[in-house]
Amino acid sequence: MLVSLENAGIFRSNKWLVRGVSMGVEPGEIVTLIGPNGSGKSTTAKLALGVLATDEGTASRKEKLRASYVPQKLKLSPTLPLSVARFLCLTNKADRHQITAALRATETDHLAAEQMVNLSGGEFQRVLLARAILCSPEFLVLDEPVQGVDFNGELALYKLIEDIRNRLDCGILLISHDLHVVMSTTDRVICLNGHVCCSGTPANVASSAEFKSLFGERAASGLAFYEHRHDHEHRPDGSIETRDSAPDGRRGPEGGVSPPPASQKISSANPANPNRNNQDKVNQDV
């Protein structure tokens, strides 16, 4: 196990940003976090990387883990004279060949001498990815890595991510809103909404009747995906209301979570009691 979160939670500004998250990433595995905006995907990734400390539960990483990070947003000050090539060796020492190879992999080798502040959005994103794969990481966190990348580039970059996984046998934690790609290329999917709503292998998730209807509905109406499968409702303030049972006024119900059908590997975890439903492959691995 490269990284594992055990019942991890983080409390800021008088609320839990995420709570009761248990997950892990093995070498050679792509785990994807999906969820609506503000559901805590980036926060969970930062917990896994150790950028944020847990306020509850634990986050553990392999000793001397070589991690690479493509953050969702990175704002560079225009006062920084920073070329693409120099940016690539920001945290790692690399020679010219490695830099060129990494840039070529993301089709940006012609930009090596450009200044970072002058790059276009998509170019910047590609360079971020090139930097992350530069020094053969063991653990790669990609937070919406293809945002703003053109259509062909998107496919190519997802393919590159798979290639890297196969070649380096590194564990990848991917955050993506692109469900087509998530379902076709990743080993495990975790649906977040302040807590782990459901998780499992995409094959199992995708073969379920629920998912099919979700998938169709999502294409039609955006985030219907997250509502449909739920045994609980999310109030606008982030608290949770269980269906068919009175809200208890606190975050999360004490009971009333119906276990998922045994035939499916989708599991449902309750933030107040995250290990309640343990059919989840992710939870078992941790």
Partner 1 sequence: MFDDFFTRALIGGIGVALVAGPLGCFIIWRRLAYFGDTLSHSALLGVALALLLELNITFAVFVVSVIVSLLLVILQRRASLSSDALLGLLAHSALAVGLVVLAFMTWVRVDLMGFLFGDILSITTFDLTLIWGGGLFVLAVLARIWRPLFAATVSYELATAEGIKPDQANVIFMVLMAAVIAVSLKIVGVLLITALLIIPAAAARRFASSPEQMAVTAIVVGVVSVWLGLNGSLEFDTPAGPSIVVAALLCFVLSLIPIKVPYLRK
Ligand X SMILES: Nc1ncnc2c1ncn2[C@@H]1O[C@H](COP(=O)(O)OP(=O)(O)OP(=O)(O)O)[C@@H](O)[C@H]1O
Cα(236)–Cα(257) distance, rounded to whole angstroms?
20
Interaction with partner 1 in 93-152: which residues (CB under 8 A)?
A: 114-115, 117-118, 141
Chain centroid to Cα 187, Å, comes to 12
Report the residue from 43, 106, 186, 270 that binds ligand X according to the rule CB under 6 A. Answer: 43
102: tokens are 């990494």
Residue 81 found at the interface with partner 1 (CB under 8 A): yes
Least distance between partner 1 and beta carbon 286 (Å)? 21
Least distance between ligand X and beta carbon 43 (Å)? 3
Taking Cα atoms as reference points, which of 238, 45, 67, 221 lies closest to residue 140?
67
Strand ranges, E, within the chain: 3-12, 15-25, 30-34, 56-61, 67-70, 139-143, 171-175, 188-192, 196-200, 232-234, 240-242
Least distance between ligand X and beta carbon 87 (Å)? 23
Residues 230-269 vs ligand X: string with x where CB under 6 A? ----------------------------------------
User: Residues binding ligand X: what is the number (CB under 6 A)?
Assistant: 12
Residues 62-101 vs ligand X: string with x where CB under 6 A? ----------x-----------------------------
Q: Of the ranges 30-38, 110-118, 126-134, 215-223, which one interacts with ligand X (CB under 6 A)?
A: 30-38
Report the residue from 28, 36, 50, 247 that binds partner 1 according to the rule CB under 8 A. Answer: 50
Residue 193 found at the interface with Mg ion (CB under 5 A): no
What is the maximum alpha-carbon separation in the chain?
63
Name the DSSP class of 74. -
Query: Which is closer to partner 1, CB of 138 or CB of 280?
Result: 138
Cα(190)–Cα(267) distance, rounded to whole angstroms?
10
Is 202 strand, coil or helix?
helix
Taking Cα atoms as reference points, which of 80, 98, 81 lies closest to residue 89?
98
Q: How many alpha carbons fall within 13 Å on the CB side of residue 249?
A: 0
Least distance between partner 1 and beta carbon 209 (Å)? 39
Report the residue from 68, 267, 270, 283 that binds partner 1 according to the rule CB under 8 A. Answer: 68
- Binding footprint of Mg ion on the chain (CB under 5 A): 41-42, 72
